[in-house]
Amino acid sequence: MSHLQSLNTYFETKREVHLDELKQFLRIPSISAISAHKQDMKTAAEWLADSMKKIGLENISIDETKGQPVVYADWLHAEGLPTILVYGHYDVQPVDPLNLWETEPFDPQIRDNKLFARGASDDKGQVYMHLKAIEALLQTDGKLPVNVKFCIEGEEEIGSPNLPDYLMTNTDKLAADIIVISDTGMQGPGEPAVCYGLRGLAGVQIEVKGAKSDLHSGLYGGGVQNAIHALVEVLDSFRDEEGTIQVEGFYDNVIPLKDEERTAYASLNFDEDALKAELGVDALFGEKGYTYTEQTWARPTLEINGVFGGFSGEGIKTVLPAEAGAKITCRLVPNQDPDEIVAKLTAHIEKYKPIGVSVEITEFDKGKPFITPFDHPAIQAAGRSYEKIYNVPTAYIRGGGSIPIVAAFDEILGLPVVLMGFGLSSENIHAPNEHFHLENFDQGLRVIGDYYYEIAQFTKEDLKK
Amino acid sequence: MSHLQSLNTYFETKREVHLDELKQFLRIPSISAISAHKQDMKTAAEWLADSMKKIGLENISIDETKGQPVVYADWLHAEGLPTILVYGHYDVQPVDPLNLWETEPFDPQIRDNKLFARGASDDKGQVYMHLKAIEALLQTDGKLPVNVKFCIEGEEEIGSPNLPDYLMTNTDKLAADIIVISDTGMQGPGEPAVCYGLRGLAGVQIEVKGAKSDLHSGLYGGGVQNAIHALVEVLDSFRDEEGTIQVEGFYDNVIPLKDEERTAYASLNFDEDALKAELGVDALFGEKGYTYTEQTWARPTLEINGVFGGFSGEGIKTVLPAEAGAKITCRLVPNQDPDEIVAKLTAHIEKYKPIGVSVEITEFDKGKPFITPFDHPAIQAAGRSYEKIYNVPTAYIRGGGSIPIVAAFDEILGLPVVLMGFGLSSENIHAPNEHFHLENFDQGLRVIGDYYYEIAQFTKEDLKK
């Protein structure tokens, strides 16, 4: 019997037991944002540790941090073979507004083959799948094909304030060859996706100051610089009419898209018309020469997030404004460096600053972009595992946003990151009536189980980034 | 004895009497903005009518309007000679904050040859000077050299809401050859000025709308139009880097500055360094090819008065904003037409609107620019009268702002307007401790008296605009 057949049989037999057990996990209201749930956080961590113990993981510890504890466990008996570090989180989002939930958020219910509960998709359900995949392998084979470590934190929904510290003080304990995270989504129902890159972030606030105070536009207008007009001149200089950013050197370190990547994205047949209808716009707009998918996944951006100055109340006030400001952020792609981009933005602003005003620049928090090469064996292996179970081609995607914790893993542990998500964008994560499609629970268990075998084919050397 | 000598003697003899009488006028708290002062408004109008009667004016009437009454009077015995219509107002600004007044606002006090009281400069003091000039002429000469009409309203400080109606229904009664208004300022102490033009106003609010709602800049950024960026593109297209407005046809109807005007302005030796220091800017900025004075008096402007969109709170929010807006107003000069300018702005915005957004345009209230030709006899005559009394050259100036009532006079009665002000910018009009420099009261009486003789030298035909 092939390992896939064994897994199939095991998961079919155990389905009810597994779902009942997951419901127990989901009944614990482990909301990290609300201090009244401190005890629930502890309960969830203990439930997880207990569950890990039951399936045969070892060296289980509930590691205290300045905030909520991290639950660690491992199985390290595949000597000389690669080690997979699984990251996930046991905390969940708050549940307000409660009256919009059809059933209680912490009373899990299955309707229409969907499991409704806070955390069902994000991320308890997906963490639990990894545990059950391990359980299945140990039960059917007596061992795992590779080494495994688990690092499940309790503060992801509040921005993982203590995880970077934890990673830095536990680099040996967490040493591995690849990191697998199941906390993202698929492309759509029946459309599996491996995410191999995320964008980074850098930004500044620009404050333009002209005269000491607002002036009468009749008395001074035409002879004194208008702070808003000066700001607008700077802001407009950032990009040309075709959407290309004009900051000198902005694209210098951008790793160009590989032909295979462009082909892979094109094969997704992204429906631009559907997006236009969804957003209510008559046209999309982005950097010339790139498709929408390429623009949002693999190209850097410069967005004006906010602008303010002068009179914004009802009607007219003929003021010549003395101050104006804007917030701008850039989404970065490998290998752009956030510090370097801020330096280039600053130089650009200084260069385009009109006369008659001064400009102050304040930096925002920065985040590095991340990419695991598209052709990395761990990425391609994940794609193969999906394809075996879903029987369709896997989408190799990047994410336009930034997941700070992924960047932290990338930076602190320096390992290839594989984002293997099983959620769907329709599943109301962070909103009332969160749910998880059980077909992806069922198929995902098999994908994960298979993935351990896939990775076992490689040497540790093969997996080096 | 020349008429100037007669006037001198008369005003010297009567100075104490006149100041005491003006103090009576100033004791009436005729604040048009506060309804509790309704009876005081009536008292002030009656005081004025009574005062007009005493000096020998005729056909005195207190004409009711929907708001405060207009006080009318005339003297029309200079058959075949020109008629001067004098406009002014008997209402005053509110007095808050009262605690900042050194002496009570309605208890007039003379300190340091300045008369302190609300309305001393704006405009009771200056209206009273016209009455006393008439009195002096009638007392010393038994008649006036020209015909005179008075139209003194009680709602100037609240925007003259009922005056246009009054003018339209009384065009015959108010028929005249020129209008003289003493409600503006001199260039500085000892520096008389005749103002012969004011700018008009037109403006629009621009609202840019992109997607149905704000979007996540990570997920959509780079592929969907940013409403602020689109707005900035439109706003920046309005002017070039040298301050010239780029709206097609914007300058088409602008009457070019005459050489005499440019010479007259240059002779004022405007101190740009002092202005820079006052405003706290390292450079002035305006349309290339024009001096600061020309830019603010005789050239049209386009100012962004306010801008708004996206996130403007503290810190960062990586939003791709769906909406953004701006308020813009243009100061107009003769012969720009406000409606035409709004049409040109609209066409410009439509032309420069980027793809992926829609734009809504809302018009603001409009005001026409006004000019009495620089070389009009009534303007030059006013300059001569000032020079005779002040013994310095008169400044021929324009105002960068808009005085709606002047535009209304210009438009409804179609007469040359002469702004002969005696106030100083330091006199705290609209603020605590309003005062009037009595040297300008003394000299102004003589200027006005002389001006009637000056105008008498012209035929009605000469004064046609």
Average pLDDT over residues A161-167: 94
The answer on pLDDT for A36 being more than 80 is yes
Angle at B234 between CA B230 and CA B236, to 5 degrees: 110
Residue A210: per-residue pLDDT: 96
Mutate to test the interface with B, among A226, A305, A363 (most CBs of B within 10 A): A305
Nearest CA-CA distance, residue A351 and chain B, Å = 13
Render pLDDT for A78-132 as a digit per residue (tens, 0 to 9). Answer: 999 999 999 999 999 999 889 999 999 999 999 999 999 999 999 999 999 999 9
Nearest CA-CA distance, residue B198 and chain A, Å = 9
Assess contact for B137 and B145: CB atoms under 8 A: yes
Pairwise CB contact (< 8 Å): B306 & A225:
no
Pairwise CB contact (< 8 Å): B241 & A354:
yes
Query: What is the rounded CA–CA span in Å between residue A188 and residue B135?
Result: 92
- Which has more confidence, A430 or A13? A13
Percent of chain A with pLDDT over 70: 100
Render pLDDT for B36-79 as a digit per residue (tens, 0 to 9). Answer: 999 999 999 999 999 999 999 999 999 999 999 999 999 999 99
Query: What is the rounded CA–CA span in Å between residue B125 and residue B144?
Result: 22
Q: What is the largest CA-CA distance in chain A?
A: 90
Pairwise CB contact (< 8 Å): A311 & B310:
no
Mutate to test the interface with A, among B201, B206, B212, B220 (most CBs of A within 10 A): B220
Query: End-to-end distance of chain A based on CA atoms, in angstroms?
Result: 34
Nearest CA-CA distance, residue B165 and chain A, Å = 24
Pairwise CB contact (< 8 Å): B229 & A221:
no
Residue A408: per-residue pLDDT: 85
Residue B1: per-residue pLDDT: 64
Query: What is the rounded CA–CA span in Å between residue A404 and residue A366?
Result: 10
Mutate to test the interface with A, among B209, B281, B355 (most CBs of A within 10 A): B281
B114 closest CA partner among B444, B435, B454, B457: B435
Q: Which residues on chain B are in Cβ contact (under 8 Å) with A318?
A: 201, 203, 303, 305, 329
Fill in the DSSP letter of residue B100: G
Strands (DSSP E) contained in B223-269 are: none
Which residues does A54 contact at the CB level (< 8 Å), separation at least 6? none
Pairwise CB contact (< 8 Å): A211 & B357:
no
The answer on pLDDT for B85 being more than 90 is yes
Residue B16: per-residue pLDDT: 97
Pairwise CB contact (< 8 Å): A295 & B324:
no
Structural domains of chain B ordered from first start: 3-198+369-456 (3.40.630.10), 202-249+301-363 (3.30.70.360), 255-299 (no CATH)
Angle at B402 between CA B339 and CA B250, to 5 degrees: 40
Pairwise CB contact (< 8 Å): B211 & A316:
no
Is the CB of residue B217 less than 8 Å away from at least one CB of chain A?
Answer: yes
- The secondary structure element, H or E, covering residue A15 is helix A3-27
The answer on pLDDT for B18 being more than 90 is yes
The answer on pLDDT for A439 being more than 90 is yes
- Quote the distance between the C-alpha of residue A57 and its chain's center: 27
- Cα-based distances in Å from A47 to A42, A51, A153: 9, 6, 13
Mutate to test the interface with A, among B214, B240, B244, B307 (most CBs of A within 10 A): B307
Nearest to A232 among B210, B235, B318 (CB): B235
Strands A147-153 and A70-75: antiparallel
Pairwise CB contact (< 8 Å): A217 & B303:
yes
Average pLDDT over residues A368-374: 91
Render pLDDT for B390-428 as a digit per residue (tens, 0 to 9). Answer: 999 999 998 888 777 888 888 888 899 999 999 998 899
Pairwise CB contact (< 8 Å): B310 & A327:
yes
Assess contact for B69 and B63: CB atoms under 8 A: yes
B125 closest CA partner among B146, B108, B145: B108
Render pLDDT for A441-458 as a digit per residue (tens, 0 to 9). Answer: 999 999 999 999 999 999
Nearest to A324 among B282, B307, B355 (CB): B307
Q: Which residues on chain B are in Cβ contact (under 8 Å) with A279?
A: 210-212, 215, 220, 224
Q: In chain A, whose CA is at the least distance from the CA of B332?
A: A218
Average pLDDT over residues A255-279: 93
Is the CB of residue B320 less than 8 Å away from at least one CB of chain A?
Answer: yes
Residue A365: per-residue pLDDT: 79
Render pLDDT for A340-359 as a digit per residue (tens, 0 to 9). Answer: 999 999 999 999 999 999 99
Nearest to A401 among B216, B224, B228 (CB): B216
Residue B41: per-residue pLDDT: 98
Q: In chain B, whose CA is at the least distance from the CA of A352?
A: B241
| A contact residues 329-388, partner B, Cβ 8 Å cutoff | 329, 331, 354-358, 364-365
Assess contact for B23 and B108: CB atoms under 8 A: yes
Q: Which residues on chain B are in Cβ contact (under 8 Å) with A231?
A: 307
Provide the sign of the torsion angle of the four alpha carbons B113, B119, B124, B126, taken in this order. positive
Pairwise CB contact (< 8 Å): B301 & A217:
yes
Pairwise CB contact (< 8 Å): A241 & B327:
no
Nearest to A295 among B217, B222, B305 (CB): B222
Pairwise CB contact (< 8 Å): B317 & A306:
yes
Which residues does B214 contact at the CB level (< 8 Å), separation at least 6? B310, B319, B320, B321, B322
Query: What is the rounded CA–CA span in Å between residue B344 and residue B348?
Result: 6
In this prediction, does ipTM exceed 0.85?
no
The number of helix segments (H) and strand segments (E) in chain A equals 12, 18
What is residue A283's three-state secondary structure?
A: coil
Nearest CA-CA distance, residue A101 and chain B, Å = 23
Nearest CA-CA distance, residue A425 and chain B, Å = 12
B239-242 own/partner pairs: CB under 8 Å, 24+ apart: B239/A229, B239/B302, B241/A233, B241/A354, B242/B287, B242/B288
Pairwise CB contact (< 8 Å): B306 & A284:
no
Q: Which residues on chain B are in Cβ contact (under 8 Å) with A315?
A: 364
Pairwise CB contact (< 8 Å): B307 & A283:
no
Is the CB of residue A301 less than 8 Å away from at least one CB of chain B?
Answer: yes
The answer on pLDDT for A1 being more than 90 is no
Average pLDDT over residues B297-324: 92
Is the CB of residue B216 less than 8 Å away from at least one CB of chain A?
Answer: yes
B370 closest CA partner among B232, B202, B247, B197: B197
Fill in the DSSP letter of residue A401: S
Assess contact for A89 and A44: CB atoms under 8 A: no
Q: Which residues on chain A are in Cβ contact (under 8 Å) with B281?
A: 210-211, 224-225, 356-357
| A contact residues 397-456, partner B, Cβ 8 Å cutoff | 399-402
Provide the sign of the torsion angle of the four alpha carbons A334, A340, A342, A344, taken in this order. negative
Nearest CA-CA distance, residue A297 and chain B, Å = 8
Pairwise CB contact (< 8 Å): B305 & A320:
yes
Q: Which residues on chain A are in Cβ contact (under 8 Å) with B296?
A: 219-223
Q: Which residues on chain B are in Cβ contact (under 8 Å) with A355?
A: 282-283, 285
What is residue A238's three-state secondary structure?
A: coil
Confidence of residue B8 (pLDDT cuts 50, 70, 90): very high
Q: Which residues on chain A are in Cβ contact (under 8 Å) with B208?
A: none
Here the tokens at position B148 are: 């005179």
Here the tokens at position A294 are: 């390429």
Query: What is the rounded CA–CA span in Å between residue A208 and residue B306?
Result: 14
Nearest to A318 among B231, B241, B305 (CB): B305
Residue B403: per-residue pLDDT: 79
A364 closest CA partner among A323, A398, A402: A402
The answer on pLDDT for A404 being more than 80 is no
Angle at A402 between CA A73 and CA A148, to 5 degrees: 20
Here the tokens at position A397 are: 């995607």
Fill in the DSSP letter of residue A220: T
Which residues does A315 contact at the CB level (< 8 Å), separation at least 6? B364
The answer on pLDDT for A236 being more than 70 is yes
